[in-house]
């Protein structure tokens, strides 16, 4: 990873400081996305995560997955690596479990079992969520838990209680406190307020009458904007913070999407926050000096798109041009983490089988869980030349025509489009023993010469005798 990091540190982002009130141009947003994605591509760990300096992994990895999905990169090798990692990692806090559920649900995986576990961990008295299992409920843990339950698609009979808990703890000023004390006995803060506005906006979209709560929350958030267009949880700060700003930006846009008039009328606030994010991106492409949380959240706020990937290796052309790979050659695996944390089948290719050059080959990908019939598909890389995958049966078959190892990623989903597994795999095509014994052209020449010498020697000896 080091050489790519050094390369990125030499790339200056063409952004210019502007006063609050300006609107970011499309060129600035495209530039922001390309450099931010380049940073993610070159800073993923070998096991598939993006850790913070403090060692936190689940939250930034979940956010990074959503940032990649927002750019149309679900088939990228680093997305499938992150998905495999986050599917198997253990979670302790309700925050990390909720983010794990959201990321898995967005990837197409079955997140309902994890969602049921989250429901079981709520505070039984308030039916909200605290930091850990059955802790006193608070914010933003309750907001995140409600988001996760909605994302998972699980049937939750107590949604109304969750809505009531969030609404009843809104302060008179429109914001939300961190703790679930009586309203107005604890100060409002940026993080719980932004999360609550976001969650309430999602709940409004499914029919809950919370528009007034959203309006009050939006109006409180607007008043917290700094002169530079940013937001900060630090009430004494005079400048914004990228993570806090990205969170408010997402909340206001979600409220707009829900049709809230206060959010629709807050377009200048939203534009100023976006311009702050453009201006605060570092020269290496990250935010907050290499913080994956801030970087992923800032990228999530960009409009959804699908970037051009000429060689179909999971790295967009604009990113390949920045990190030094070739947009015309499928060379994505050159970025695979090499820090000793590689896991076969997760972020390093697992050898499925060895095929023989020129000989018929058959291999069947297994499937279990979910509801049959299953669907099998390639998400990146390629099978050996001459082999094809039957998407209904999972059978890889054909006659290989070229030697070498072939790396690819495949996924298995059920009839409900739930992704049951995602694997990095390899099939190696080897020469036959007979092929290895066939002489080359120079070897044939040596054999013929030896035969002639032997025949001449034999005839000469017979004549002399």
Q: Does residue 396 sit in the same domain as residue 446? A: no
Q: Does residue 386 sit in the same domain as residue 444? A: no
Task: Count the domains in the chain.
Answer: 3
Which carries the bigger pLDDT value, residue 63 or residue 235?
A: 63
pLDDT tens string 143-200: 999 999 999 999 999 999 999 999 999 999 999 999 887 777 889 999 999 999 999 9
Q: Does residue 286 sit in the same domain as residue 370? A: no
* 141 within some domain: no
Cα distance between residue 222 and residue 109, in whole Å? 36
- Between 32-41, 154-163, 237-246, 310-319, the lowest mean confidence (pLDDT) is in 310-319
What's the pLDDT score for residue 431?
A: 84
Q: Does residue 49 sit in the same domain as residue 174? A: yes
Percent of the chain with pLDDT over 90: 63
What's the pLDDT score for residue 13?
A: 31
Q: Does residue 407 sit in the same domain as residue 313? A: no
Backbone angles phi, psi at 263, to 5 degrees: -70, -40
H-run or E-run covering 217? helix 211-223
Domain-ending residue, one of 279, 304, 322 = 322
- Between 67-71, 155-159, 280-284, 309-313, the lowest mean confidence (pLDDT) is in 309-313
For residue 366, is pLDDT > 50?
yes
H-run or E-run covering 224? none
Question: What 8-state DSSP symbol labels residue 136?
Answer: P
* 420 within some domain: yes
What's the pLDDT score for residue 9?
A: 38
* 418 within some domain: yes
- Between 58-67, 229-238, 349-358, the lowest mean confidence (pLDDT) is in 349-358
Model confidence at 304, pLDDT cuts 50, 70, 90, reads: very high
Domain that residue 450 falls in: 435-465
* 337 within some domain: no
* Contact (Cβ atoms closer than 8 angstroms) between residue 293 and residue 59: yes
For residue 8, is pLDDT > 60?
no
Residues 328-340: what's their mean pLDDT? Answer: 64
Q: Does residue 182 sit in the same domain as residue 59? A: yes
For residue 283, is pLDDT > 80?
yes
Q: Does residue 264 sit in the same domain as residue 302? A: yes
* 274 within some domain: yes
What's the pLDDT score for residue 6?
A: 39
Residues 316-345: what's their mean pLDDT? Answer: 74
Nearest to 48 by CA among 94, 20, 89: 89
Residues 377-385: what's their mean pLDDT? Answer: 80
For residue 450, is pLDDT > 80?
no
Token pair, residue 217, equals: 């929350």
Q: Does residue 179 sit in the same domain as residue 293? A: yes
Q: Does residue 272 sit in the same domain as residue 182? A: yes
* 73 within some domain: yes
Which residues on adjacent β-strands are paired with residue 389? Answer: 396
Model confidence at 219, pLDDT cuts 50, 70, 90, reads: very high
Q: Does residue 281 sit in the same domain as residue 373? A: no
pLDDT tens string 74-118: 888 889 889 888 988 889 899 999 999 999 999 988 899 999 999
* 462 within some domain: yes
* 258 within some domain: yes
Token pair, residue 141, equals: 């843990």
Which carries the bigger pLDDT value, residue 462 or residue 162?
A: 162
For residue 16, is pLDDT > 50?
no
> What does pLDDT average to over the chain?
86
Q: Which CATH number goes with the domain that contains 384? A: 2.60.40.10
Which carries the bigger pLDDT value, residue 459 or residue 339?
A: 459
Cα Rg for the chain, rounded, in angstroms?
A: 28
What's the pLDDT score for residue 411?
A: 83
What's the pLDDT score for residue 454?
A: 55
pTM of the model: 0.73
Q: Does residue 65 sit in the same domain as residue 11? A: yes
Q: Does residue 360 sit in the same domain as residue 226? A: no
Residues 293-309: what's their mean pLDDT? Answer: 95
- Between 204-208, 254-258, 321-325, the lowest mean confidence (pLDDT) is in 321-325
Model confidence at 1, pLDDT cuts 50, 70, 90, reads: very low
The C-alpha torsion from 172 through 178 and 179 to 184, rounded to 10°, is -20
pLDDT tens string 432-448: 755 444 444 444 455 55
């Amino acid at each position: 990873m080091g050489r790519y990091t050094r390369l990125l540190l030499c790339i200056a982002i063409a952004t210019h400081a502007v006063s609050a009130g300006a609107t970011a141009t499309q060129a600035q947003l495209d530039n922001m996305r390309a450099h931010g994605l380049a940073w993610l591509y070159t800073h993923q760990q070998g096991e598939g995560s993006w850790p913070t300096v403090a060692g936190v992994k689940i939250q930034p990895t979940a956010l990074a997955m959503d940032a990649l999905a927002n750019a149309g990169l679900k088939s990228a090798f680093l997305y499938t690596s992150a998905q495999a990692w986050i599917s198997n990692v253990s979670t302790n806090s309700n925050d990390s479990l909720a983010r794990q559920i959201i990321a898995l649900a967005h990837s197409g995986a079955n997140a309902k079992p994890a969602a049921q576990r989250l429901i079981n961990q709520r505070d039984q008295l308030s039916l909200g969520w605290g930091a850990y299992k059955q802790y006193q409920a608070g914010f933003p843990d309750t907001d995140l838990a409600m988001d996760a339950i909605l994302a998972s698609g699980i049937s939750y009979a107590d949604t109304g209680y969750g809505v009531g808990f969030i609404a009843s703890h809104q302060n008179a000023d429109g914001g939300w406190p961190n703790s679930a004390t009586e309203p107005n006995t604890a100060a409002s803060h940026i993080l719980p307020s932004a999360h609550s506005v976001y969650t309430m906006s999602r709940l409004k979209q499914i029919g809950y009458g919370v528009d007034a709560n959203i309006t009050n929350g939006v109006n409180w958030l607007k008043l917290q904007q700094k002169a530079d267009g940013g937001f900060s949880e630090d009430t004494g700060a005079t400048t914004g913070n990228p993570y806090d700003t990205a969170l408010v930006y997402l909340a206001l846009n979600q409220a707009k999407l829900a049709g809230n008039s206060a959010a629709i009328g807050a377009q200048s606030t939203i534009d100023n926050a976006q311009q702050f994010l453009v201006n605060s991106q570092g020269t290496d492409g990250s935010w907050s000096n290499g913080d994956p949380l801030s970087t992923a959240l800032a990228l999530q706020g960009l409009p959804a798109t699908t970037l051009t990937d000429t060689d179909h290796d999971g790295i967009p052309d604009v990113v390949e041009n920045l990190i030094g790979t070739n947009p015309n050659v499928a060379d994505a695996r050159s970025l695979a983490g090499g820090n000793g944390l590689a896991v076969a089948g997760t972020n390093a290719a697992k050898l499925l089988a060895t095929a023989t050059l020129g000989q018929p080959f058959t291999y069947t990908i297994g499937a279990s869980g979910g509801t049959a019939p299953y669907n099998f598909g390639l998400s990146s890389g390629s099978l050996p030349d001459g082999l094809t995958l039957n998407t209904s049966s999972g059978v890889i078959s054909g006659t290989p025509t070229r030697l070498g190892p072939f790396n690819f990623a495949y996924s298995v989903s059920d009839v409900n489009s739930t992704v049951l597994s995602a694997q990095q795999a390899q099939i190696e095509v080897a020469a036959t023993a007979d092929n290895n014994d066939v002489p080359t052209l120079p070897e044939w020449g040596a054999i013929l010469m030896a035969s002639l010498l032997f025949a001449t020697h034999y005839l000469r000896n017979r004549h002399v005798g």
